[in-house]
Amino acid sequence: MRKACIMLFLLGFICQALAFNNFLEQNRVELTPEQKEEYYRSLEDGRNNDFNPLGIGYYWVYHCESWPDTWYYRPRIIKSQLVNDSLFFMKSYRHNNGGIIVDAGYWSKNVDDTTIIWDSLHTIMEPFEADFILDEDFNVTATNYEDAIDVYHSMYVSGATTPFKCLLIEQGFIEVWGILTEYKYLAYNHPEVIDLYHTLLWARGFGALSMINEWGGFSLQGCVIDGVVYGDTTVTAVEEITLPEIPQIKISSSPNPFRTNTLISYELPTKADDAEIQIYNTKGQLIRKERLSGKGVFDWDARDSFHNQVSSGIYLIRIKTDKQQAVRKAIFIK
C-alpha cells in the first residue's frame, strides 16, 4: 500500500512537471535586444509591474492539487497601512481544504523587485529580531545552492523560522492572457526540511503562475490586478468566504507639534492583551514606555523614563499589543 502511494505521488509530480514544461514551451517568447529595450521602457507606463503585485482589491484564484485532493484558494489583498511613511499591504491567504478554513497573512511592500515583510511583533523568524524581513528577491542570479539568497518566502505559508534558499532556474519572456511579460522560474530549498523543496514560476505584473513540489502543485486560473480581470476568477470549489475586519488600534496626539506636553489619545481593540505605549527618538532608541488598557489619554510631558527632558525633534509614538501596533509621529519644539 505504501509503495502504491509513493508511486502515485511520483506520477502526480511527473504530470505536474510535464504540464508546466508544456505551458512554458507554448507561451515562451524570444525577444530581440531592441524588443527587450522597448519592453523595459514600457514598464514605466504606471501599471503595477512587480513580480509580486500589491494593491487593495487584488486577488488570485489558484487550482491546487495534492493527491488525492484538489481545491481552490484565493489569496487577496484586504487592506493597507502606513509604516514609517511607506505603504504596506495585507495579503490574506485563505483557502478551504477538506472543510478546514486556513488563514495566514503578512504586511508587505515591494522595493526594487524585492518584497519586504513588516514583522513588528517578531512573530516570524524571531531569532533575527528584525522589524523588516526580506520575503522575496527577484533579483536573484545564483544558479547553485551555495550562492542562493535567503528569503522568508511567505507565498508558501510555511511559518518557518529559518529562511528558504532561493536560486534561479530560468528567466525570459512569456505571454500570459495575451500580455507580454517577463518571467522568473525560481527554486526554493529549505535547509532543514527536505519536503519543503519546490519551484515557482513568477510573472511580472501577475505574481505566481504555478508551483510544483513532490506532493503536487497549484496553477493560476485568474486574477484581478489594477481593476483588470485576467483569466477566469469565477471558478472555485467553495463558496465565497467573507474575511472579517480586524479591529484596529486608534491613536492621535494633540497638540502636534508641541512645546510642553502632548495628549496622546488611544483606543484599543476589546480583546487586546499586553498593551504598551512606547516612545522612540529618530535613532530608534526607546526613551519612555508605559502600560495601557482600554481607551484613554496618555499625557506625555516630553520627558524620558528618568524624568529628563528630551531634546527638540521628531519622536515616534508606538502603541503595541500582542497582535498589532500603531505608530504616529510627534514633534517636540523647545
Number of neighbours of residue 65 by Cβ within 10 angstroms: 17
Task: Note whether 2-231 and 250-332 share their fold.
Answer: no
pLDDT for 80-125, tens place per residue? 888 887 889 888 765 544 444 445 577 899 998 999 998 776 666 5
What architecture (CATH level 2) is domain 250-332? Answer: Sandwich (2.60)
What architecture (CATH level 2) is domain 2-231? Answer: Beta Barrel (2.40)
The per-residue b/e assignment along 205-233, b for 16 or more CB within 10 angstroms, e otherwise, is bbbbbbbbbeebbbbbbbbbbeeeebbee
Q: Where are the domains of the chain?
A: 2-231, 250-332
C-alpha cell at 27: 507561451
pLDDT for 248-283, tens place per residue? 678 888 888 898 999 998 888 766 667 888 888 876
Judge if the upstream peptide bond of residue 127 is cis by omega within 30 degrees of 0.
no
DSSP 20-42: HHHHHHHHEE---HHHHHHHHHH
Q: How far apart are CA 277 and CA 288, in angstroms?
A: 8
Q: What pTM does this model have?
A: 0.65
Q: Could you tell me which residues come within 8 angstroms of residue 146 by beta carbon, excluding any fewer than 6 positions away?
A: none
Burial class (CB in 10 A: 0-12, 13-18, 19+), 249: buried
pLDDT for 139-170, tens place per residue? 999 999 899 999 988 887 554 567 899 999 99
**Closest-CA residue to 180 (of 289, 35, 55):** 35
pLDDT for 298-328, tens place per residue? 999 999 999 999 998 888 788 877 666 677 7
Categorize the per-residue pLDDT at 188 as very low, low, confident or very high, splitting at 50, 70 and 90.
Answer: very high
